[in-house]
Each structure stands twice: as structure tokens, then as C-alpha cells.
Structure 1
Amino acid sequence: MSTVLESALLPVYPPAPVTFVEGDGVWLVDSDGRRYLDFAAGIAVVGLGHRHPAPLAAAHAQLDRLWHASNLFGTEPVRALATRLSQRFAGAAGRTAAGGPGAQAFFCNSGAEANEAALKYARKATGKPGVIALERGFHGRTTGALAATGQPAKRVAFEPLLPGVRFARPNDPDSLRAAAGDDVGLVLLEPVLGEGGVIPLAPDFVAA
């Protein structure tokens, strides 16, 4: 299997000498039948555990009805979830020009794509190209998201990246204020820095 991995897959990460074939709750099983306690959870994707009955039943029910219709058309699950999110976060963005809820959902495939959308939305809404992000933060590996990732080792091979990004130190309000300016249209941060060392942001820093 390692030969196949080395020849057929782009080595984005060094391949681990294991191939998983099954998951159940907090356990993973490899192709040799060995069991592993899963502390990674698919990099925080499988938070409920593998084969949790609730999402499994929901997926089966939807697959029995409709697989995909593209984002050109409405579907019941998309509309229902967008409505719930809009109601939950209605106060996050005020009101729209038409008087509707300010929070609107944009469904995408990854966190990097969500951050790319945030970068574009902020520039469109404010007309300001500047971005403040945090040192040691991680926002993705696409071009814009990588520019806002505060880990130079990940950026250096792809520079120059998106200009106008400035970095502040986590939990240092003075550093954050020093990075501010009239050109800043977006502050992009993680409430808890993950790759940066599992650093929760202090409330006074976020308020700054």
C-alpha cells in the first residue's frame, strides 16, 4: 500500500505507514485489523465519532431522496439549515438594506474556501484591502487564506501572496492596535488558535 501511496498520491503530507478501513465511535481499524484510539477525529471533522447514528441516519434518508442539485437551485436541507443559521446569528451583522436578517449563509467545501469568501466579502463591503491576522494562526492553504496564515514556513514557498496582510501577536492588545489602520477591512482570527498551540483568545483582546 505504501508503494501505491508514494506513486499515486501527491505527497502533501509525509505518508503514514497505515491505511484505515473502518471507524466506530472513537476507534479506527487499519487494513491489518489493528485498532487505534482516534485522537485526531479527522482533524476535528468527526467530532461525534465514527458512524454516529444521528448523522448516519440523516445521510441515509437524504441519499434515498436526492443527492445533489447544485447551488443554482434550492433544496429543502439547504434552505432549512440556512434559515437556522440566519436565526441563530441574526445579530452578527445587523440588518440588510432590505430590512432582512444580516446573517446569511454561504455553504462551501472547506475552511480555506470560507476564509477566501470572507476576504472577498470584506473587501467588497468596505472597499478596504487591509487585513489583520494573528501570528501562529492558520486559515488554510489557498492563496488568500495562506496570506493570512501567521506561519512563515507555510508561506515562504509561495510568496509573494495577497498584499496588505498585517500580523498581531495573540492576546497582545497593543500589538493589535499597532496593526490597525484606515485601510483595514477585516480582522481574521481563530477564537482558539489550533495549529498555533491551542491558545484561547482572551475576551479583552477580542474586544480590542
Structure 2
Amino acid sequence: MSDNEFEKSPLNTVKRLPKRGYYDKETIFGILDEHFICHLGWEVDGQPFLIPTAYGRKGDTLYVHGSSKSRMLSALTDGRPLCMVVTIVDGLVLARSAFHHSMNYRSAIIYGHAHELEGEEKMEALRIVSEQILAGRWDEVRLPSEIELKATTVLAIDIDSASAKIRTGPPSDDDADYDLPVWAGVLPAHLAFDQPIVDPAMKHNLPISLSVKSRFKSED
């Protein structure tokens, strides 16, 4: 792994449509930074596990957390191999034939191993995950107590290898199908947040937090 890209290997090389593959950190980290939900996979005693979870990134390290009672998550503390996938759907690619329908997407797959964090590193990792989800929220709320920290396992994922795969553009139909009277094109997609809903249990008449305002477009 160089400073700017991940070395290609049998593990991370994109084999299907290799021209869509990317190995530079700018592209891979750009995908990771735009989202906050991943799917984390590993094996325990021959049984594969896959869970969706929130994550955060700082530099070449990723952070995830979960309950300290989680047997599956605790298994990762021994440094066993893991993989992590993040996918962003940018649009539905609608072709003239059912076969050539596709999606425009950006995906990143990470291969690595994890170790558990404690003390100040643990708290900082939680802050990084929080900031990945909603920037600024960490500074607006009560921070985790000692009891809450003990109930939480926080893992740092060291990246051993990674790659990205990206599809863009219109559909690609068979030549004979371009004359068909079928609408074709791209239906763009993106993640959006709606108007916030106030908790009915709030005891103070407060304006919407600045961190929340940054995540949606007000009609005011």
C-alpha cells in the first residue's frame, strides 16, 4: 500500500468489468466519506456473518462500534480477517431490454483486521463515527458516561487492501433494440433527509439544532 493507492492483488482486483475498478485512496476514501452505513463481514467457526452498521473514517483507519455483549463483534478483537462494503446508488439505469437494466453506483470494498480501543482512543473513535453520521452533533449532546462506555465495544479497522467500482452513464442496449418504442435513460437517486420531527417528550422549546439543519433543506 503506497501513500496514494492500494496495491492490486488477487484479493482486491476487480475482475468483472475491470475498467470500472479504482485503487487510489482519493476515490475509495471519497466513497467512504460520503456515506455512513456499511456491511461488515467475517467468519466465526466456519459460519459467515454479515451485519449493517455505522462507521467513521480518519486517515487510513475505520471505526465501528456495538454492544459489548455482542459475541459476533467481540470475535473481531482477535484480529481475524474481515471485509467491509459501502455502496452508494446514484441512479437506476433503465434500458430497452430487461437484460440490460442496471444501476449507476459507487462501491468500495475494504479488507483488513480490527483491534479494540480503550480510554481516550475509544472516546475519540465514537466522536469520529458520530461526526460521520451528523457533523456537529457530538458537540450538542451529553457525551457517553463511564457505564455507557463499558457497555460499548469500539473497534479500529486497519485497512490491508481496498478497491472501488463505479458505474456511470446511460444504458447500453443491443444495437437491434435501439429502434424499440421503449423509454430508456437514467433515473437519478440520492440520499435525502426530510423535515425534522420534534420529539414530543421535549421539555424545552428549542430551535432545530445546527447539525440537523445541515442535513436537510428547509422550505422557509
TM over 0.5, shorter chain: no
More strand by share: 2
Structure-1-length-normalised TM-score: 0.22
More helix by share: 1
Structure-2-length-normalised TM-score: 0.21
